[in-house]
Amino acid sequence: MTTKVVMAGATGWVGRALVPAILAQGDMQLVGAVARRAAGHDAGVAANGQPIGLAIRASLTEALDVPSDVVVDYTKPVAVKGHVMQAIERGRHVIIGTSGLGAADYREINAAARANGVGVVAAGNYSITATLMKKFALMAAQYIPDVEIIDYASARKPDAPSGTALELAETLSEIRGAPTALPKSEIYGHPEARGATLGEGTAVQVHSLRLPSYQLSCETVFGLPEERLVIRHDAGTSAVPYVAGTLLAIRRVREFTGLVRVLDALMDETLSV
């Protein structure tokens, strides 16, 4: 079965890598591309490739007028939720690659997806190795309750923390034990220096650095008396690491109804939701 895909953010950093990757798949067909500033241009040429005869649309509304199965969103934090809800309401499955959404947003998206009978995949990072970093950190958290996250990104990244760090913090908070560090309420001076307190369980401190020379890195630091464990993922300057995981999500999203927020669930041979 061929999956018809709409790519929102087709000329963005990840979109330019995904367009040719989707075109190269025998079981996928690119039927829509969205990028406001490149509207009217050929989607293949805009992705630094050859003409494919598909004009970029200025809005997702226009792209959804063509029959499709899955919408992939790699746009901006200010636009992603509106795109996702619009796609769900139009009966499309959705892959969320854009960061910036919180737990309340995901609850609303999950409810809408279930009501409309579609699946949604939202991973903080579609890199296979970043997914393994998260899996290993969750394993460690079962034994070590003291953990904090350092989130590195470029000086121009508009959201903090990154989707990778946010997803990791929220998941760690659900399984970690009680930490030994003083809570922020007991800190003198400038408690905000301890970072953001994230997660709905036993919350995790997250520290976001935004500096030139960084692309995307996430470091999970665990501490026990007289020893430490650091689990870290570093991404390079291209979007190549995110292609394989996104393609996997496109292939699997139609298997379920509702929201799945972890890519490692899709990496398993069977999916339980």
Map tokens 């895909």 to a residue. Answer: 5
Main-chain phi, psi angles of 248, to 5 degrees: -60, -45
- Asked if residue 139 and residue 73 are part of one domain, the reply reads no
Q: Is 272 a domain residue?
A: no
Indicate if 224 and 244 belong to the same structural domain.
no
Say which CATH number the domain at 38 has: 3.40.50.720
Report yes or no on 53 lying in a domain.
yes
Same domain for 151 and 260, yes or no, is: no
- What range defines the domain where residue 20 resides? 3-122+239-267
Tell me how far the alpha carbon of residue 65 is from its chain's centroid.
Answer: 26
Q: Can you give the pTM of this predicted structure? A: 0.81
pLDDT in tens, the chain (273 residues): 899 999 999 999 999 999 999 999 999 999 999 999 999 999 999 988 889 999 999 999 999 999 999 999 999 989 999 999 999 999 999 999 998 888 889 999 999 999 999 999 998 889 989 999 999 999 999 999 999 999 999 999 988 999 899 989 999 999 999 999 998 989 999 999 999 999 988 999 999 999 999 989 999 999 999 999 999 999 888 889 899 999 999 999 999 999 998 777 777 644 343
* CB neighbour list of residue 4: distance below 8 Å, 6 or more residues apart: 28, 29, 31, 67, 68, 69, 70
pLDDT at residue 49, rounded to an integer? 82
Give which of 21, 55, 19 is closest to 40, Cα–Cα: 55
SS3 7: strand
Structure tokens at 100: 């910036």
Q: Please report the pLDDT score of residue 173 as a whole number.
A: 95
> Is there a single domain that holds both residue 145 and residue 206?
yes
Q: Per the domain annotation, does 273 fall within a domain?
A: no
CATH number of the CATH domain containing 155: 3.30.360.10
Same domain, yes or no: 53 and 180: no
Report the domain count for the chain. 2
> Which residues, at least 6 apart from 50, have a Cβ–Cβ distance to it below 8 Å?
44
What pLDDT score does 221 carry?
98
For residue 268, the model assigns a pLDDT of 61
